Structure 1
Amino acid sequence: MKLKAEQLDSHLDKGLSPVYMLTGDEPLLMQECADQIRSQARKRGFGDREVFHVESGFNWEQVLASANSLSLFAEQKLLDVRLSGKPNDQGSKALLEYASRPPQDTVLLLTLPKLDSSAMKAKWVNAIEQAGVLIQIWPMDAQGLPRWLAQRAKQKGLRLTTAAVEVLAQRVEGNLLAAMQELDMLALVSDGAEIDDEQILDLVGNHARHDVYDLCRVAFSGDWPATLRILSHLRQDGAEPTLMLWALTRELRDLLQLLRLQRDGMNFDNACRQARIFPQQRQIPLRKAAQRSRPALLMALLRQAQQLDVFSKTGQTALFWTELELWLSHLTGHPLPLPFYRQ
């Protein structure tokens, strides 16, 4: 069955399923869901836990063998399998076999990054969903963050005004780990009193600090509002244009290489391995860009990057930032008028 993360508590109160699969790119929420399952397993007598880190060359027979072997120390066990991407053919077959006949007295917990839509249609994913529980964890969007902060604040006994929640959301800017740290701090200093927006401004650090790699991530992901916001922060912080162009054009060249490999019949994951593009967090924005971008546009962007480099090296700073904003608008798929590109 499919569940939302917020439904996991009530589900676990009723008992454990034989298989759980958590997939997503929000570290805090992934960790919390996994911890809930582990904690409930311990309470229900699953005293033996084996952890498997799935990397290149991993032998999936280890998981199957462990599932079918009796523990010397406990009658029930939790198999904690942590993947850095979707499983290979051997792994897919092993998981399909496992889900078709889950062993008694064993719980399998799979955690892995967000899978694309085609991977979610795989037979092994469907088998996991039929045998147990599938939870997809999505990044917190700008609309959902204030509501999430208000809920977490209430859990910690904090009383925040609506304006305080809004300011806190702006300060942490989607960084849920930072948000939890700030809520813990506020719980210590508030002493039960209501906290307003002015106090948030005084007490909470600004976590909206970005580097060029953040710019690459949101731009190639196609998030135009976040791209504009981070670009503004980088400009205010005096970011080095040469470094920015180097990072952006490196990703652009890698994206073009991935598209060439895909055109030759290779799937995205194999193309990343062929092009040696790691880790998974770097592949995610490139995957999104590959799905929406045309090579002709990317080649035009690559050529225009040379002109941007000239602007940066000849002291035309204002023109550089203006043209870079236009350049990024096309990269994100939200084009503003650009003179150098004609369809």
Structure 2
Amino acid sequence: MSYIAIKKEVKRGDVRPVYFMYGTQSFLMEDLLLDIIRQTVGSQDDPNVITYSLQDVLLDTAVEEAETFPFFGGKKIVIVKEFSLVTAQKQDSKLDHDVNRLLQYIASPAPESILILLTPFEKLDERKKLTKELKKRAAVVDCSPFDDKLLLQWLDAQAHAKGFTFSPGGKERLLERLGPQLLQLVSEMNKLALYVGDGGVVDQEVVDLLVARSLEQDVFALIDYAVKKQLDKALVIYHDLLKQKEEPLKLLALIARQLRIFYQVKEMGRRSYSQKDIASQLKLHPYVVKLASQQVNKFQDKQLLHLLESAADADYAIKSGKMEKTLAVELLLMRLSSLDQS
């Protein structure tokens, strides 16, 4: 099931005996884990919350703990981190884990315990018996990066929990500012909630007032202004970043990366790849691909290749001492702004 669906279950008090969470979004795992703890034992400091890592402790120890009756009755939560036994990941630890012991446990889990297995890896080994049995018997939570639809649902759910709502433009503007960075989004939404108050509405103006753009979004806006022949606005962003002590070489690398994404998205789109497939192939978040797809038609292939060559030339000129670094990036922005859009 999706993270959002499982989270709603937990909020209702429907807590399962075994959870298997996998994916690269560790924030989602920690967030759901806290919900389960609050719903069952109340606090992370409760002595009935026990955490192990498979890098240091045998799996048998964690299973035995789950089988043991909790202190003072109630519920016990046993958390197993770095649960890599369901992946093709090479084991750094020399511990000999007894997988059969876990298979026996999940077939008949202890009613007083909640066993939570955390696998912070992108892919599972679907051939393994343990993977198949966990998918059959546990509450499986996919903590992979959200696609565009789930990201919007998640934003609405977070806003509802914090007592405010988004206008459609406000939600889009927040994503434009921060991208799909969940931890940053939560932090900024806490600030927005305080500003608009309970029952308030967050629109574009509120987001513009309170939320600063991320560095990646500044670079995206910088390129966008340059391509639209608004060089003055592009240079304002560039010099603001310099005032914030951002290194010109770093900004040049980010500009080149964004141009490379544009070229790859344009080429794969021409080959009829969906945005989801492009995101998977390039290992980018779907929202990043969505934004790039809205920009790529402003460029011809030869223009993007020329700009990538210009970025490489600027990098060489800086590192070889032939050109001052601040000026080299400014000249690249001027080349962007002088593109023929016909």
Bin for the TM-score computed over the shorter chain:
0.5 to 0.7
- Give the deviation of 1:59 after TM superposition: 2.0
CA contact (8 A) 2:21 2:118 kept: yes
Taking the TM superposition and a 5 Å limit, the aligned residue runs for 1:131-170 are 131-142=137-148, 144-170=150-176
Q: CA RMSD in A?
A: 4.4
Counterparts of 1:162 and 1:242 in 2: how far apart (Å)? 34
2:54 aligns to what? 54
Deviates more, 1:156-165 or 1:96-105: 96-105
1:41 maps to a residue whose letter is: T
* Percent identical: 20
- Partner of residue 113 from structure 2, selected from 87, 106, 114: 106
Runs of at least 5 residues in structure 1 that lack an aligned partner in the other structure: 216-224, 246-284, 290-305, 323-343
The structure-2 alpha-carbon separation of the partners of 1:170 and 1:65, relative to structure 1 and needing over 3 Å to count, comes to same
Q: CA-to-partner distance for each residue in 1:290-331, whole Å, 9 max, x for gaps?
A: xxxxxxxxxxxxxxxx9997454233757x979xxxxxxxxx
2:81 maps to a residue whose letter is: R
Counterparts of 2:177 and 2:29 in 1: how far apart (Å)? 22
TM-score by length of 1: 0.57
1:29 aligns to what? 28
The structure-2 alpha-carbon separation of the partners of 1:98 and 1:170, relative to structure 1 and needing over 3 Å to count, comes to same
Counterparts of 1:172 and 1:94 in 2: how far apart (Å)? 44
1:67 maps to a residue whose letter is: A
Counterparts of 1:97 and 1:178 in 2: how far apart (Å)? 40
The structure-2 alpha-carbon separation of the partners of 1:244 and 1:135, relative to structure 1 and needing over 3 Å to count, comes to same
- Give the deviation of 1:105 after TM superposition: 2.5
Deviates more, 1:75-84 or 1:175-184: 75-84
1:198 maps to a residue whose letter is: E
CA contact (8 A) 1:52 1:82 kept: yes
- Give the deviation of 1:39 after TM superposition: 2.8
Counterparts of 1:103 and 1:26 in 2: how far apart (Å)? 29
**Secondary structure of 2:50's match?**
strand
- Give the deviation of 1:142 after TM superposition: 4.5
The structure-2 alpha-carbon separation of the partners of 1:67 and 1:156, relative to structure 1 and needing over 3 Å to count, comes to closer
1:31 maps to a residue whose letter is: E
The structure-2 alpha-carbon separation of the partners of 1:83 and 1:142, relative to structure 1 and needing over 3 Å to count, comes to same
- Give the deviation of 1:110 after TM superposition: 0.9
CA contact (8 A) 2:79 2:115 kept: yes
- Give the deviation of 1:72 after TM superposition: 4.7
CA contact (8 A) 1:142 1:174 kept: no
Counterparts of 2:15 and 2:149 in 1: how far apart (Å)? 32
- Give the deviation of 1:15 after TM superposition: 4.1
Counterparts of 2:195 and 2:316 in 1: how far apart (Å)? 52
TM-score by length of 2: 0.57
CA contact (8 A) 1:141 1:174 kept: no
- Give the deviation of 1:60 after TM superposition: 2.0
Q: CA-to-partner distance for each residue in 1:230-260, whole Å, 9 max, x for gaps?
A: xx99x95564649998xxxxxxxxxxxxxxx
- Partner of residue 2 from structure 2, selected from 4, 7, 13: 4
1:80 maps to a residue whose letter is: I
- Give the deviation of 1:70 after TM superposition: 3.7
CA contact (8 A) 1:22 1:30 kept: yes
Counterparts of 1:42 and 1:210 in 2: how far apart (Å)? 40
- Give the deviation of 1:133 after TM superposition: 1.2
**Secondary structure of 1:36's match?**
helix
- Partner of residue 136 from structure 2, selected from 118, 130, 142: 130
1:220 aligns to what? none
Counterparts of 1:194 and 1:179 in 2: how far apart (Å)? 16
1:182 aligns to what? 188
CA contact (8 A) 1:47 1:74 kept: no
